[in-house]
A = this chain, B = another copy of it.
Amino acid sequence: MFSKIRELLIGKTLKTEELEGEKLNIFWGLPILSSDAISSVAYAGEEILYVLIGVIGLMAYRYMFYAAVAVILLLILLVLSYRQTIDAYPNGGGSYIVAQDNLGIKPGLIAGASLTVDYILTVAVSICAGTAAITSAVPSLLNHKVAIALVMLIILTIGNLRGTKESSKIFGVPTYLFIVSCIVLIITGVIRHYVFGYLPAQMYSIPKQIGDITLFLFLRAFASGCTALSGVEAVSNGIPNFKEPSQKNAKAVLVLLACLVLFIFGGLSFLATIYHPVPSANVTVFAQIAQQVFGKGIMFYIIQVTTAFVLVMAANTAYAGLPLLLSLMAQDGYVPRQFSQRGKRLSFSNGIIVLAVAAGILIIVFKGDTHLLLPLYAVGVFLSFTLSQVGMFLKWTRSKEEGWKHKAVINGLGAIVTFITVILIGITKFVHGAWLVFIIIPVLVYSMGKIKNHYNKVVKQIKLSNDERPNIGIKTNNDQHVIILLGTLNKTFLKSLNCARCLSNNVVAFHVSTDPAATEKLKVKWKEYNPGIPLIIEHSAYRDIIEPLMNFIESEDRASKHGETVTVVISQFVITKWWHNLLHNQTGYFVKSMLYKNRNVAVLTVPYIIKE
């Protein structure tokens, strides 16, 4: 039943060989990997304005535009830097790889942990912002925003479990629609104002100026705007998702992305200086601009719908990025190995599910509020940018390959600027929530170290040298100790007995008495049936089966006499309907898990099928 539902939702299992067909060309790669950066125009401008307007009032629009320009300059620098990274790391040049490669394991783990945190936040923030776009258009939905966000999350998760390529086709179109609507919005907004002199009344009144612009205030505004830049990492981390030539395609997508953000983010910030939107809890700044430019007509609703879609697609960027990152880290043994396995549809399904659950928790805890989530955002991504850039800088200075000086200058400059930015973000947003990230990242790095440690320990302990030879084989008298755990005398016992006697001549039945009446009945029946093996009965005052059994194994010194493994036989009902399992004691299951903790006890499970 479960497998049928799964097949309906995520499609038929794919062969490993079908992997190549799931990759992206430039046309589909752009929407799926750049929607994060492009869509952030829907909230990044609002965040800048939110910081400024409460203090400097009307002046906020001018400084908002300056901050946006600063963010765009930073983006251009990042694109230049990352083009070099893509060249140098054809298998995916995520910060994790670059930092580990050039700076060592610890910096690599810090980059990996930072990115993990940021991918999860990308999903939570983008979905919440998408929900805000919907509730801006339909205010009556304001009370259901958490539910709307969770539904979006579930749809996205299912789409991604179906596999990368299909999700890009489903999800690529809205990104293009959003780009086109934004361009139309900007052009219309500029023409209506400058050509036709159109200027509608403001929707909300601008707060009074209560202070002057300070450097700290401007830097806070700039730091808030930096949330727009996490998408860059996604492209360079996602090279293996591209069709061949994957590096060239990735670089092309990166440049296209930069051009689009330049035009749209710049254009919208400019429109803000004309139309004066004011951050409000009910209608987003972006929606206010659209409403001012178009009026509350069809174009307004198109803008809101495409915004919602593209923000959900931005979350999709993280669905492409995080599972891939986790699979790389899993191969290195820093996160559970299961992250490196492809699911039924060849996507890294474990990573997708973990991402969905973590983002879902964030949405619920932060009540679907973008404002509360954003201060946590961007610390991680700029930390990883910095590590990556420093790594690239060192790479060039070490390799001294052709043209290294030029490349080192670009990455060095990138390193300095992103480092300054991470400090800025950390300081200006610390009390607003960024402190949480400064706790989570070290905890993740520590856990990754512990995990690697465990895997190392296991590998060391189970490593087999050629000198350790197997035993010669079966002994002539075949007296391997076999104990049948006996509840009541029935056919399951008979089957267990037959199994055991095929394997050994030294079989005993062991019964733990928790109910004297039942034990008496067993004794009578045993005498009657007389199976020809000894029956040992132990009383248990605490209704516990494990302890008497373990005592029996140890007291007889069965385990150690020959240094052999004692085998305990447990019969298990096999039932066709899953709910029938609720009707039977899972004693066998508990006994087994306890016995496994004893090195010298092997458990032979003999299934007995109950027919319907």
Copies in the complex: 2
Query: Does residue A461 face the partner (Cβ distance < 8 Å to B)?
Result: yes
Question: Interface code A479-518, partner B: CB below 8 Å = 1, 0 otherwise?
Answer: 0100000000111111101110111110000000010000
Give, as a whole number of angstroms, the nearest-CB distance from A243 to chain B.
23
Query: Does residue A201 face the partner (Cβ distance < 8 Å to B)?
Result: no
Question: Interface code A121-136, partner B: CB below 8 Å = 1, 0 otherwise?
Answer: 0000000000000000
Query: Does the CB pair B468–A491 fall under 8 Å?
Result: yes
Query: Does the CB pair B470–A501 fall under 8 Å?
Result: yes
Complex Cα distance A34/B164, Å?
A: 63
* Interface size class, chain A: 35 or more
Query: Which listed residue (B16, B470, B499, B602) contacts A605, Cβ 8 A?
Result: B602
Query: Does the CB pair A470–B531 fall under 8 Å?
Result: yes
A338-B585, A567-B604, A605-B603 known; A475 vs B494 contact (CB < 8 Å):
no
Query: Which listed residue (B468, B493, B583) contacts A455, Cβ 8 A?
Result: B583
Complex Cα distance A532/B473, Å?
A: 10
Query: Which listed residue (B15, B337, B473, B602) contacts A607, Cβ 8 A?
Result: B602
Complex Cα distance A341/B582, Å?
A: 14
A480 / chain B contacts, CB cutoff of 8 Å: 502-503
A531 / chain B contacts, CB cutoff of 8 Å: 470
Query: Does residue A248 face the partner (Cβ distance < 8 Å to B)?
Result: no
Query: Does residue A84 face the partner (Cβ distance < 8 Å to B)?
Result: no
Query: Does residue A176 face the partner (Cβ distance < 8 Å to B)?
Result: no
Give, as a whole number of angstroms, the nearest-CB distance from A514 to chain B.
7
Query: Does the CB pair B478–A474 fall under 8 Å?
Result: yes
Query: Does residue A611 face the partner (Cβ distance < 8 Å to B)?
Result: yes
Please give me the residue from chain B that is nearest to A562 by CB atom: B502
Query: Which listed residue (B502, B542, B608) contacts A564, Cβ 8 A?
Result: B502
A602 / chain B contacts, CB cutoff of 8 Å: 499, 604-607
Query: Does residue A217 face the partner (Cβ distance < 8 Å to B)?
Result: no
A-side residues, CB < 8 A to B, are 13-17, 336-338, 341-342, 344, 451, 454-455, 457-458, 461-464, 466, 468, 470-475, 478, 480, 489-495, 497-499, 501-505, 514, 528-529, 531-532, 541-544, 564-565, 567, 572-574, 580, 582-585, 592, 595-599, 601-612
